[in-house]
């Protein structure tokens, strides 16, 4: 593919690099994948919006030269919904952590999927609250430790992809920060899909999750993703996490349906 926009033009050059994130954090890899996906689709940066909530992912919009909003904890999808309804011509990408998306933001998450609103939700799933002190999140595996679970987490764990599928999302995929090229493609596919797209990205947090659970440094955590995941194209071996496109279905998009209601109401008012 011939690219018409250089990658660096999607970044705010006045921002200081390296980034604010901890050494070894996977968020930079996810941000790079988003930029490469947007570039591969040859999207104008003026037609892309990135919305974030609170947490480590909340800093992502700082670095990109898109239209951006840094919103409140768990409410990124609510703000993004309003933006998409007002500007249906824009590609709206919502970046959230696992706690931001399915803990405090869980109600917004399931109803965005139920409505099938045309947004791309990228969940940076590091299985812990990284920025606020290492508390357990809904995706912290049973038995793993957090500052709020020093003897091990005992609650059932959310599967973000299954929740998205059950709630009605049109497109659901999963990848990891180890599988960066695959992640580029999945994000691009999610952006292109009409309806609510969810990409669950397993991401290393060596400072928070890693230290509490003796998971090693960033390299060791990336190797874990390599060794404990498998492609959706084949049958998953027992205990392996499945990557790839998990759901891809054609459903009516909310914005399109909403526009039809507005048109019908205007016709009714005239008669």
Splitting the chain (271 residues) into consecutive groups of 10 residues, what average pLDDT does each group show? Answer: 74 84 95 96 95 94 96 96 96 97 96 97 95 91 95 96 97 98 97 97 95 95 96 74 96 92 82 49
CA–CA dist 88, 253 (Å, integer):
11
Structural domain for 188, as ranges:
22-270
Residue 9 lies in a domain: no
Residue 25 preceded by cis peptide, ω within 30: no
Residue 11 lies in a domain: no
Distances 216 to 59, 179, 212, 222 between C-alpha atoms, Å: 25, 19, 10, 10
pTM of the model: 0.94
Tokens of 78: 């609510």
Q: Say which CATH number the domain at 98 has.
A: 3.40.50.970
Residue 128 lies in a domain: yes
Can you say how many angstroms the Cα of residue 196 is from the centroid of all Cα atoms in its chain? 12
Is the separation of the CB atoms in 139 and 92 below 8 Å? Answer: no
Tell me 235's DSSP state.
P
| pLDDT value at residue 232 | 76
Residue 188 lies in a domain: yes
| pLDDT value at residue 112 | 98
Residue 10 lies in a domain: no
Residue 16 lies in a domain: no
Residue 36 lies in a domain: yes
| pLDDT value at residue 234 | 61
CA–CA dist 70, 213 (Å, integer):
30
| Backbone phi and psi for residue 64, each to the nearest 5 degrees, phi listed first | -105, 145
Residue 157 lies in a domain: yes
| pLDDT value at residue 9 | 87
Counting the structural domains of the chain, the total is 1
């Amino acid at each position: 593919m011939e690219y018409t926009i250089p990658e660096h033009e999607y970044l705010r050059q006045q921002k200081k690099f390296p980034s604010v994130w901890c050494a070894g954090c996977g968020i930079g890899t996810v941000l790079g994948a988003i930029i490469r996906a947007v570039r591969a689709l040859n999207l104008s940066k003026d037609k892309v919006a990135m919305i974030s909530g609170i947490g480590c992912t909340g800093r992502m919009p700082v670095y990109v030269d898109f239209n951006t909003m840094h919103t409140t904890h768990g409410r990124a999808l609510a703000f993004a919904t309003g933006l998409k309804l007002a500007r249906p011509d824009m590609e709206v990408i919502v970046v959230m952590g696992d706690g931001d998306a399915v803990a405090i933001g869980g109600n917004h998450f399931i109803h965005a999927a139920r409505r099938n609103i045309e947004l791309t939700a990228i969940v940076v799933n590091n299985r812990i609250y990284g920025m606020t002190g290492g508390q357990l999140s809904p995706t912290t595996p049973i038995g793993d430790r957090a500052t709020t679970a020093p003897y091990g987490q005992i609650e059932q764990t959310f599967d973000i992809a299954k929740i998205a599928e059950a709630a009605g999302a049109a497109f659901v995929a999963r990848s990891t920060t180890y599988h960066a090229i695959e992640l580029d493609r999945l994000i691009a596919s999610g952006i292109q899909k009409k309806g609510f797209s969810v990409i669950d990205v397993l991401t290393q947090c060596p400072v928070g999750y890693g230290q509490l659970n003796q998971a090693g440094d960033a390299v060791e955590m990336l190797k874990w993703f390599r060794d404990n995941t498998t492609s959706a194209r084949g049958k998953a071996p027992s205990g392996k996490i499945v990557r790839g496109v998990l759901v891809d279905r054609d459903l009516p998009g909310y914005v399109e349906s909403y526009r039809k209601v507005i048109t019908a109401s205007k016709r009714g008012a005239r008669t």
